[in-house]
Amino acid sequence: MKGNIIKYAQDNVDTDVIIPGQYLKVHDYAELATHAMEGLDPDFHSKVKEGDFILSGKNFGCGSSREHAPIALSYSGIKAVLALSFARIFYRNAVDGAFLLPIEIEQDAYDAISEGDEIDIDIATNEIKNLTKNQTYKMKPFSEIIGKIISAGGLFKYKPDQD
Amino acid sequence: MGKTLFEKIWESHVVVERQSGPSLIYVDRHLIHEVTSPQAFDGLRLNNRKVRRPDLTIATMDHNVPTNDRSLPILDQTSAIQIQTLEKNCRDFGIKLFDINSPNQGIVHVIGPQLGITLPGSTIVCGDSHTSTHGAFGALALGIGTSDVEHVLASQTLWLEKPMPFEIRIEGKRKNPHAVTAKDIILSVIKYIGTGGGTGTVIEYRGDGITDLSMEQRMTICNMSIEAGARAGLIAPDEKTYDYLRHREYTPKNYESLVDSWRNNLKTDHDAKFGKQFLLHIDDIAPQVSWGTNPGMTCDVTDAVPSPDEFSKGDPNQKKGAQKALDYMNLKPGTHIEDIKIDRVFIGSCTNARLEDLIEASKVIKGQKISPHVRAMVVPGSQMVKKQAEEMGLDKIFIDANFEWREAGCSMCLGMNPDILSPGERCASTSNRNFEGRQGTGGRTHLVSPVMAAAAAIKGHFVDVRKMDLS
């Protein structure tokens, strides 16, 4: 899976900046997407392209349980968030609805990858290739069950009794 | 080896256990509200599914209800639609709803315990991260997203990887328990362990600093577990817990026999092991005020705003975060907290809008007026809290001091209804999150206890409430 990086070089990107509270009344996901990241980066909507990835630091998605957060990113075109760590409810919401891939990275990848870099994520080998810089980094593998839910396309498509 | 309270509750609710990965956990109570449930009901309809246990599902409307005159129509059309949608969903699926006109309406985490719906040893979920509040009763209470809300509606179960038990021990006696509150204890904890300090864990709060607290104070502690990143926070039930829940509207009929069993079972064994531990002595802690844009960016009221270097202790991202927070909050390092002037005061939210919070705040303002430059409001956590407060005459104390006295709801905690800050306004708030824009775009939030908020309203700036007469 290839895409370009939008980098937020900070920890604690919270759900209230990913999708501010006043938009939790919006049920149309395409409209919700126009407000994604509005609290942190008002230019996000104009610069994000289908297939982009977000790169950020520790505790990404902390705060509210609003599933609107991964939904707003997903409908903006974001296919994966690469972060040093995730808040658990955000991580779970992202996987449940198969909205985007929450990928835990190591410090080397966080430091080396820059805004705009083209990245190739391979979840079979747990490798992240930086095509712009010609580097390769390891990602933390998904746990078995998370991998299965993601492959199935979300919680409601995954059938545990067929394991 | 012995077991922790969390492990005992977990084991008594496992439906399917796997060798690795998540277990399927039974859910005893599912609380729902208007914001995170509509898509879940849409999903049920799409797949022709029913609500498996409507009798264990309870709904209220809190996040975007107006807190002014309820006899008027709701002006915000999108809010009105969300509220009507919840009414229809509850009608169609046979779920009990405490609607906007119900005397039981209120913030979901305030009404659960008040109605005796929250019970020790149970599992409780809600599509809201502050569900951890119910852990004060020795329940395993988890915030979930909308897909999981749908999963619980359909199956009354939840897939969950077993979190690690984390002991936070609070020891000692506060010298002035009216001025140094449960809010100051939990803000101190988050200040030390950080907003990610509890990630992947269930916290059990223990020690004499916890058992000394009232039930309402314990709820403030457990409420903010999520601000440390924890999955849940809980406190072992004791006689205070059992007394609080006795004779509530939905207290089970066999309550005394349940209490007998809880007394025997709901405690951590002496030889149980926690995966992580933290100890805080509270003899000398001061009232806390957040200065930044997450709850870990907090200091004593007697301190000054730290510099990014002091705060970050060498971590480059922390330093950057602190600088960004100072810019957003328009604060300079070295500014004494007591010199920070405020524009607004919000006493409300699932953290601090219960009766005891309002009683304590009213003692600070009784017979005084708020600063002429300040606009202040009290939003009781529930209509029951509001009624009890009015029976005690607290409404008059607040109104005489020029506070606005509102109807119950989440209100300015999260800026979904018209109760919001204007850009640049600075608020002393009893809520739980000081994220950028949380209380309205460009609004600046300082998290404090109810008595600290009340004191700031009177003085127009933060003040060490220990210096005021609270007798």
Q: How far apart are CA B24 and CA A160, in angstroms?
A: 11
Contact A103, A81 (CB under 8 A): yes
Query: What pLDDT was estimated at residue B73?
Result: 87
| CA–CA dist B181, B184 (Å, integer) | 5
**If you compute the radius of gyration of chain A from its CA atoms, what whole number of angstroms results?**
15
Residue B72 scores a pLDDT above 70? yes
CB atoms within 10 A of CB B422: 11
Give the model confidence (pLDDT) of B180-194 as tens digits: 999 999 999 999 999
Architecture of domain A2-162 in this structure: Alpha-Beta Barrel (3.20)
B395 vs B408: CA distance, rounded Å: 13
Angle (CA) B190-B195-B199 rounded to 5° is 110
Radius of gyration of chain B (CA): 21
What integer best gives the mean pLDDT of chain B?
97
CA atoms of B403 and B344, how far apart (whole Å): 10
- Measured CA to CA, the distance from residue B343 to residue B383 in angstroms comes to 27
For chain A, first and last CA: distance in Å?
A: 26
Q: Find tokens 């003040």 and name the residue.
A: B463
Considering only CA atoms, which of B28, B215, B258 is closest in space to residue B139?
Answer: B28
Amino acid letter, residue B456: A
User: Does residue A24 belong to the interface with chain B, where contact is any CB pair within 8 Å?
Assistant: yes
Residues B404, B378 contacting (CB under 8 angstroms):
yes
Please give the C-alpha separations between residue B225 and each of A106, B183, B196, in angstroms, as whole numbers: 26, 12, 10
The distance of A80 to chain B (nearest Cα, Å) reads 19
pLDDT-based confidence at A161, cuts 50/70/90?
low
Position A89, amino acid? I
CA distance B157 to B52: 10
Residue A151: what pLDDT?
A: 86
Q: Using a CB-CB distance cutoff of 8 angstroms, which residues of chain B are in contact with residue A26?
A: 78
Minimum Cα–Cα distance from B414: chain A residue: A21
Q: CA of A68, closest CA in chain B: separation in Å?
A: 9
pLDDT on residue B469: 76
pLDDT at A147: 85
Say what the pTM is: 0.97
**How far is B213 from B299, CA to CA, in rounded Å?**
22
Nearest CA in chain A to B295: A63
Residue range B58-77: mean pLDDT, rounded: 92
Reported confidence tier of residue A163, pLDDT bands at 50, 70, 90: low
E strand or H helix at B97 = strand B96-98
Q: Which of A39, A63, A93 is the closest to B145 by Cβ?
A: A93
Residues in chain A within 8 Å Cβ distance of B196? 11-12, 58-59, 62, 85, 87
Task: Report the C-alpha gap between B423 and A39 in whole angstroms.
Answer: 12
pLDDT of B470 > 80? The answer is: no
Distance CA B222, CA B139 (A): 11
Whole-number Å distance between alpha carbons of A62 and B81:
28
Can you give the pLDDT at residue B387? 98
Contact criterion met (CB below 8 Å) for B24 and B15: yes
Facing B36 at nearest CB: one of A17, A66, A88: A66
Residue B280: its H or E element:
strand B276-281
Contact (CB<8Å) A21/B416: yes
Q: Which residue of A has its CA nearest to B126?
A: A65
3-state secondary structure of B207: coil
Whole-angstrom CA distances from A48 to A8, A39, A79 are 13, 15, 11
Structure tokens at A29: 């996901």
- pLDDT, residue B269, reads 98
Chain A hits for B414, CB-CB cut-off 8 Å, are 16, 21, 64
Contact B129 A9 (CB under 8 A): no
Length of chain B: 471
Q: How many CB atoms lie within 10 A of CB A74?
A: 20
Contact B338, B461 (CB under 8 A): yes
Q: What residue of B is the nearest CA neighbor of A147? A: B21
Question: In the predicted model, what is the mean pLDDT of residues B115-135?
Answer: 98
Strands A2-8 and A53-56: parallel
Say which amino acid occupies B235: I
Spatial strand order of the sheet with B14-16 comes to B14-16, B23-26, B157-160
Mean pLDDT across the stretch B258-278? 98
The 10 Å Cβ neighbour count of residue A127 is 13
Say if the Cβ atoms of A10 and B21 lie within 8 Å: no
Q: Is residue B151 within 8 Å of residue B157, measured between CB atoms?
A: yes
What percent of chain B lies above the pLDDT cut of 90? 96
pLDDT at position B422: 97
Q: Is the Cβ pair A59, B199 closer than 8 Å?
A: yes
- Interchain CB contact of A141 with B (< 8 Å): no
A positions 36-55 inside 8 Å of B (CB) = 39-40
Which two three-digit tokens encode residue B92? 């169609």
- Model confidence pLDDT, tens digit, residues A7-17: 999 999 999 99
Domain boundaries, chain A: 2-162
Q: What is the pLDDT of residue B471?
A: 61
Contact B39 A59 (CB under 8 A): no
Q: Position B435: which residue type?
A: F
How far off is chain A from B382, nearest CA to CA, in Å? 21
Q: Residue range B386-398: average pLDDT?
A: 98
Amino acid letter, B75:
L
> Is A17 in CB contact (< 8 Å) with chain B?
yes
C-alpha pair distances (Å), B146 with each of A17, A21, A89, B90, B143:
19, 15, 11, 16, 10
pLDDT value at residue A162: 56
Nearest to A78 by CA among A120, A50, A55: A50
Residue given tokens 């990913």 in the structure block: A18
> Is the CB of A92 less than 8 angstroms away from the CB of B416?
no
pLDDT digits (tens, 9 = 90+) for B22-61: 899 999 999 999 999 999 999 999 999 999 999 999 999 9
* Predicted local distance difference test score (pLDDT) of residue B21: 81
